[in-house]
Amino acid sequence: MSGPSSPLIENYLREVGFWYVTTIGRGCKLDPKLISALIERWRPKTHIFHLSCGECIITSEDVQLQLGLLVDGSALTESVQSVDGGNICYDLLGTILDNIYEGQIEMGWLRDIFLKSENGSTEVERIRYARAYILEMIGDYLMLDLSR
């Protein structure tokens, strides 16, 4: 599932405001010296960059401006009636992970289950694939947590 999104789910990604996020990084050249400098200045306990001119923190408004994502409004999942992770997973993705710990889904499992969207897939299957693709983007790029 990694890489560019399937054209079959492009409309779903546009509808929920995630299309622009799927295009980030294509053809982008990273500056290793800049990245190293930012890493040296990052304080993981406070989530703040300590720069010579003062402290800098990335806010949800910054994310909204740079990624074009909404930071307020209705949830993408609609209303969920259950607090059981397995039921929520089944309702949204059509399948259940054997081991859901505190609502966490393993990215490898998502990639294994949702390899690619097929031309002959139904609308429900495409929506589930789009949800899995968005989860992967959030887990791998937007809210990366290497502390585990």
Going by C-alpha positions, the residue among 121, 130, 113, 110 that lies closest to residue 5 is: 130
Mean pLDDT in each 10-residue stretch from start to end of the chain (148 residues)?
72 85 74 84 85 85 76 59 70 77 72 74 86 82 60
Domain span at residue 66 reads 9-142
* pLDDT number for residue 147: 53
2, part of any domain: no
Tally the domains of the chain. Answer: 1
* pLDDT number for residue 3: 62
* pLDDT number for residue 32: 83
147, part of any domain: no
* pLDDT number for residue 65: 80
128, part of any domain: yes
110, part of any domain: yes
First to last CA, the chain: 22
Total-model pTM: 0.64
For residue 8 the two structure tokens come to 């079959």
148, part of any domain: no
